[in-house]
Chains A and B, each alone.
Chain A
């Protein structure tokens, strides 16, 4: 449609690069929930504290898969860490994710040490637990209190780091000045808030699922808190996304025509998913759900809202990353993106990339109990 530069017929960043910020955004949301309990004393979130920590770690461990798989030369991926080009925004990612991995692992080990020691005594998976306690079996009150304090202080370091990580992911796209759809200072903020939203939605969903599987009673005050935070951040996120579009339309700068065509025609369906089905609709039903007296209705509303929000955030990633590449830099036409089933960037690889964090979470939950002893 229209004119595109000849080399633009190929969309360079496909579905794997859509999945990458989707996964890393969930880290931000999940870790925020853990921080709200531990650092800001939102006690109602205690039932999901450990789940949030495990989700953060599982998703962090999974971010590299879509990135590395998408590379033309995955075998050279390690060069980003060995010989980074310091002027590149992308070069920071390797260090940032490694640093976060260390910090999140430390938080987890300090949180769990006491319980892991008790598990050694019980003999189950002893070798793994012995390694994870790093040989420190002291479970005196003083030692446990010391663990709690150290974990607390590390979390204070981790919180801004996690927020920075996802803001930075937005920066990777927002700093591409060649692309009028990406080049906005709002991008890091939009990515961060939508990431937080998706993380909270996933924790809410997982909490329902885990409770159902384990036949446990859902803590209503925890669910209420989670849904309130979801509603709050979703409202902020959707407002920011609408503001961004308003900003483009109001400024009427070069590229406004093609951007408006992208939103209203080329990607109309996925924009409807992002802002309508995955944005405004969950805001309305979450708000209405708050007034219901039936816990079953609330549960259904929150489950549905969380699912819609996750679809909406995924659509947002799609609209930014794929949408940005559909617009020709000649500003005169659109490229097309067709996803394949097989291949390096095919649908099967994408589904694998989305499944990996849940598999890792399952493994982590086998090692680190979700409930305190």
Chain B
């Protein structure tokens, strides 16, 4: 066997074993032993949009719709402007304005609320919250009434369009799942995986090490959640945002 063939065989076997290992973990995954929280550090985000691209590819998110997007807040004297061209998919154009006081990027995603209004209003229970703290949609059961889209204060949901790639999702509500198919296999969500500055991080409270790490972040940083007045109890924590961020 030539050297190239030998390496390919080795890689193939290793890959298969890893795959088997992940599948085994998925089969043995016990959702009551996990609990997920997400931290977005706005001070680290550079608005590159890689998270948006990764999410689109990983989850077959159709054109014009977003499971995650990035907003840019630009502070002028007496005025704040917000933009998110194509959800930040292609990054952001430079600001060439001396009047800008400050600007920052805010990645958005489903807040996986502990008291989710989307779950409350779903008339058939197609939207539900898992014991590990993620809000999911049963696409085989959703009737497409859009009440959950109306109820979400964060604009995190949309109706999967008829020209979307995944047939079973068409005309049903779609949203960020923290890449549930990945996190249940001990992998990170696509957006976390590709973030070059670790502005997006996920923590599993079922894992002692990650729990400690999250506690340390909470201890050392000022944490905010979006729209706390809605009483939704988000599981996405933000570091470094102003009260103007909604």
Contact = CB atoms under 8 A, between A and B. Distances in A.
Interface of A: 3-10, 12-13, 70-74, 76-77, 79-80, 83-85, 87-91, 93, 176-179, 325, 328-332
A7 B155 CA distance: 6
A177 B153 contact: yes
Given A83-B124, A90-B145, 13 more contacts: A5-B154, A12-B146, A72-B145, A72-B170, A76-B142, A79-B143, A88-B122, A88-B147, A90-B123, A176-B117, A177-B230, A178-B150, A179-B150
A158 B121 CA distance: 27
Contacts of A73: 142-144, 171-172
7 contacts: A5-B154, A72-B145, A72-B172, A76-B144, A176-B117, A178-B152, A330-B155
Interface of B: 64-66, 69, 71, 81-84, 86-87, 108, 117, 119-125, 141-147, 149-159, 170-172, 230-231, 246
Contact of B66 (A6, A74, A80, A83): A6
B150 A88 contact: no
A7 B150 contact: no
B155 A3 contact: no
Nearest to B69: A6
Contacts of B154: 5, 329
B146 A3 contact: no
B120 A87 contact: yes
A9 B64 contact: yes
Contacts of B123: 80, 84-85, 88, 90-91, 93
A330 B153 CA distance: 9
Nearest to A75: B143
Given A72-B143, A73-B144, A6 B84 contact: yes
Nearest to A87: B120
B144 A71 contact: yes
A197 B166 CA distance: 46
B150 A332 contact: no
A69 to B, nearest CB: 11
Given A9-B64, A79-B124, A176 B146 contact: no
Nearest to B162: A72
Nearest to A179: B150
Contacts of A80: 123-124, 143
A363 B103 CA distance: 65
The 9 A-B pairs with the shortest beta carbon distances in the complex, nearest first, are A72-B144, A5-B155, A72-B171, A178-B153, A85-B125, A12-B146, A90-B123, A7-B158, A3-B82
Contacts of A178: 117, 150-153, 230
A224 to B, nearest CB: 43
Contacts of A88: 120-123, 147
A78 B71 CA distance: 40
A20 to B, nearest CB: 12
A12 B155 CA distance: 12
Given A6-B65, A178-B230, A85 B159 contact: no
A255 B6 CA distance: 65
B38 to A, nearest CB: 18
A331 B243 CA distance: 13
Contacts of B157: 7
B87 A6 contact: yes
Most-contacted residue by chain A among B65, B123, B231 (CB, 10 A):
B123
Given A6-B84, A73-B172, A330-B82, A84 B124 contact: yes
B246 A12 contact: no
Given A178-B150, A328-B155, A7 B124 contact: no
A162 to B, nearest CB: 22
A328 B150 CA distance: 11
A10 B158 contact: yes
A190 B246 CA distance: 29
Contacts of B142: 72-73, 76
B8 to A, nearest CB: 42
A332 B79 CA distance: 12
Contacts of A329: 152-155, 246
B121 A90 contact: yes
Nearest to A321: B150
Contacts of A85: 122-125
A19 to B, nearest CB: 15
Contacts of B151: 176-178
Nearest to B118: A178
A332 to B, nearest CB: 6
